[in-house]
Copies of this chain bind each other. A is one copy, B any other.
Amino acid sequence: MAARNRGYFEALNIFTLNLVSSPGSGKTALLERTLNDLKDSLNFYVIEGDQQTVNDANRIAALEVPVMQINTGKGCHLESDMVFEAVKHLQMRPDSILMIENVGNLVCPSMFDLGEQKRVVIISTTEGEDKPIKYPDMFHTSDVCIINKIDLMPHLNFDLNRLKDYALQVNPGLQFFEVSATTGEGMDAWYEWLRKELNQS
Q: Which residues of A contact B (CB under 8 A)?
A: 22-24, 50-53, 55, 74-76, 103-108, 111, 123-124, 126-128, 130-131, 133-137, 149, 152, 155-157, 182
Contacts and interface: CB of A to CB of B under 8 A. Distances in A.
B76 A134 contact: no
Contact of A124 (B75, B126, B134, B155): B126
A139 to B, nearest CB: 11
Taken together, the copies of this chain in the complex come to 2
Contacts of A155: 152, 155
A111 B107 CA distance: 15
A74 B111 contact: yes
Contact of A23 (B51, B75, B131): B131
Contacts of A76: 76, 105, 107-108
Given A24-B127, A105-B105, A152-B155, 6 more contacts: A23-B134, A52-B134, A53-B130, A53-B133, A107-B108, A152-B152
Chain A interface, >50% SS class: loop
30 contacts: A22-B22, A22-B104, A22-B127, A23-B106, A23-B127, A24-B123, A24-B126, A24-B128, A50-B134, A51-B107, A51-B134, A51-B136, A51-B137, A52-B133, A52-B134, A53-B130, A55-B130, A74-B111, A74-B137, A76-B107, A104-B134, A104-B135, A105-B107, A105-B108, A107-B108, A152-B152, A152-B155, A152-B156, A155-B155, A157-B182
